[in-house]
A = this chain, B = another copy of it.
Amino acid sequence: MEVVNKYVSLKHHVNGYPSESDFELATTPLQPAPGSGEVIVKNLYLSIDPYQLNRMKRYSSSHTTCPAAAQIEPGQRINANGVGRVVSSGRAELEEGDVVAGMLGWEQYTVVRPGTVLMKVDAKDLPLSCYASVLGTSGLTAFAGFYDVCKPKKGEKVFVSAASGSVGSLVGQYAKLSGCYVVGCAGSKQKVDLLKGKLGFDDAFNYKEEADLKSALRRYFPEGIDIYFDNVGAAMLEAAVANMNSFGRVAMCGAISEYTNAGERAAPDLIDIIYKRITLRGFLVLDHLHLHEQFSAATSDHLRRGRMISLEDVSVGIESVPTAFVGLFRGDNVGKKLVRVGELEG
């Protein structure tokens, strides 16, 4: 077997909003290296995530914090989570045709080096795309962030920002399943309708239509917020802190409104934080991998019984990766953004 692999790479480091012209498509021949222990995976679904923007910057304090956040150099392959089919295996436990999920890349085929975790998935159980979304890193991020970081109690009031996004849409569903009251915010009427209709949020609002976020949250949470799952940072974090109850918890999962603009900052009132004994905690999913089994069993079960929905927004073809990525920062995606780069058969 010898194939040509098409991959997406950066033309240059990105600062501020990304645009399609920051990326280029390149090709490289791909050859198995027998005896190397490598696995060649034909990619099916790729995960498109906002955090990748921080990796693309010329400078970010995030680059040195963990391998998953390492800087991406221009010209390099870009690793990313995904689902694929094994086309050539140097591992005893995997064979051609197996479907696997793990760290693949923004490319048609990924050569997976020994030591990189590949999880075998049952292609007949749940839709394959789930393993790059609700059952993948986004799902575990939502699960760990909500249960491990926020430690919710039944009846608590939960606010989720970017609530129709990959993580937010799942946090809201976990919160409902845990007996919490959940309100989400998003950036369009369509998204708000989805949150209230399809995803079962108790309420939702379009933050773009609110002149004063603090008053908006006071309206949606007359009894105050106990848990804020923050995906956006900036003014929304300030407004949430102002509306929190004593012993409130903020899971700092993402700050998408700050990723594109280093000058955009949240300046929450410290008097609120001190007197209301609020905890703000930054977290990364990689510190919560021990929850994977519990997460996976519970979430698969919820999906099978129809108690959870995987809201996905799928583009097709490796060429669509740049637009899919850039769209995250324009709020184009409704649900988890995925790109289908290959078909299971063929």
Contact = CB atoms under 8 A, between A and B. Distances in A.
Contacts of A277: 281-284, 287
A246 B270 CA distance: 22
A265 B235 CA distance: 13
A254 to B, nearest CB: 7
A274 B279 contact: no
Interface stretch (A60-68, A318-326, A334-342): A60-68
Interface in A21-65: 54, 60-62, 65
Contacts of A276: 61, 65, 282
Nearest to A270: B255
Contacts of A20: none
Interface in A250-271: 252-255, 258-259, 265-271
A275 B284 contact: yes
A265 B269 contact: yes
A166 B274 CA distance: 17
A278 interface: yes
A184 interface: no
Q: What size tier do the contact residues of chain A reach? A: 35 or more
Nearest to A232: B270
Contact of A61 (B258, B275, B282): B275
A213 interface: no
B258 A60 contact: no
Interface in A49-97: 54, 60-62, 65-66, 69
A203 interface: no
B282 A273 contact: yes
A303 interface: no
A242 interface: yes
A233 interface: yes
A111 interface: no
B266 A61 contact: no
A266 B274 contact: no
A216 interface: no
A280 interface: yes
A313 interface: no
10 contacts: A61-B269, A61-B276, A62-B274, A66-B246, A233-B270, A265-B270, A267-B267, A272-B282, A275-B284, A278-B281
Interface of A: 54, 60-62, 65-66, 69, 233, 237, 242, 246, 252-255, 258-259, 265-284, 287
